[in-house]
Chains A and B, each alone.
Chain A
Amino acid sequence: MRIASALLLAAGLMLSSVRSAIAQPSTMLSVNGTPASMIISSAVTGVGSMSVTDATTTYFVRVKNASGNGTISAQLSAPMPLGTTLSLTMTPSFGATSLGPVDLSTVSQAVVTNIQKENGSTLAMTYVFAATAAAGVVPTQSRTVTFTLVAVP
Chain B
Amino acid sequence: MMIKNARRTAVALALVAFGAVTAQAQTQTVAFSVSAINQIAFTGTPTLAITTATAGLNPTPATDASARWAVTTNTNGAKVTASIATVMPTGLTLSAGLAQPTGGSTAGLQALGTTAVDLVTGISYLAEGALVVTYKLDALPTAVAVASGSKIVTYTIVSGT
Q: Which residues of A contact B (CB under 8 A)?
A: 26-31, 33-35, 37-50, 54, 57, 59, 66-68, 84, 86, 127, 129, 131-153
Total of A-B residue pairs, C-beta within 8 Å: 160
Question: Complex: how many Å from CA A26 to CA B16?
Answer: 11
Evaluate contact between B39 and A43: CB separation under 8 angstroms. yes
Chain B facing A: main interface SS: strand
The 4 tightest CB contacts between A and B, nearest first, are A46-B129, A46-B70, A138-B34, A45-B41
Option from B35, B73, B126 in Cβ contact (under 8 Å) with A40: B35
8 additional A-B pairs beyond A29-B25, A38-B30, A134-B74, beta carbons within 8 Å, are: A38-B31, A45-B127, A46-B72, A47-B129, A132-B127, A145-B28, A146-B27, A151-B21
**Is B32 touching A84 in the complex (CB atoms < 8 A)?**
yes
User: Which A residues lie within 8 Å of B50 (CB)?
Assistant: none
In angstroms, Cα B21 to Cα A150, docked, is 7
A42 to chain B, nearest CB (A): 6
On whether A66 and B17 interact (CB within 8 A), knowing A45-B41, A131-B34, the answer reads: yes
* Contact B34 A68, beta carbon cutoff 8 Å: no
Taking a contact as CB atoms under 8 Å apart, the answer to whether B127 and A140 are in contact is: no
Report B's interface with A, CB cutoff 8 A.
Answer: 17-37, 39-41, 70-76, 125-130
**Chain A residues whose C-beta falls within 8 Å of the C-beta of B33 in the assembled complex:** 37-40, 138-141
Q: List 11 A-B contacts (CB under 8 A).
A: A26-B19, A26-B22, A37-B31, A40-B34, A41-B37, A46-B72, A138-B33, A143-B30, A144-B28, A146-B27, A147-B26
Question: In the docked arrangement, what's the CA distance between A41 and B34, Å?
Answer: 6
* Contact A40–B37 (Cβ < 8 Å): yes
Known: A144-B27, A149-B24, A153-B18. A50 touches B34 (CB 8 A): yes
Q: Considering the chains assembled together, what is the distance between the CA atoms of A15 and B67 in angstroms?
A: 79
Q: Are B21 and A152 in contact (CB under 8 A)?
A: yes
Neighbouring A residues of B41 by C-beta, 8 Å? 45-46
Q: Could you tell me the distance between the alpha carbons of A24 and B29 in the complex, rounded to whole angstroms?
A: 26
Assuming the contacts A38-B32, A141-B33, A143-B30, asked whether A150 and B73 have C-beta atoms less than 8 A apart, the reply is: no
**B-chain residues with CB within 8 Å of residue A33 when the two chains form the complex:** 28
> Which residue of the partner chain B has the closest CB to A129?
B32
Residue from A45, A49, A67 whose CB has the most chain B CB atoms within 10 Å: A45
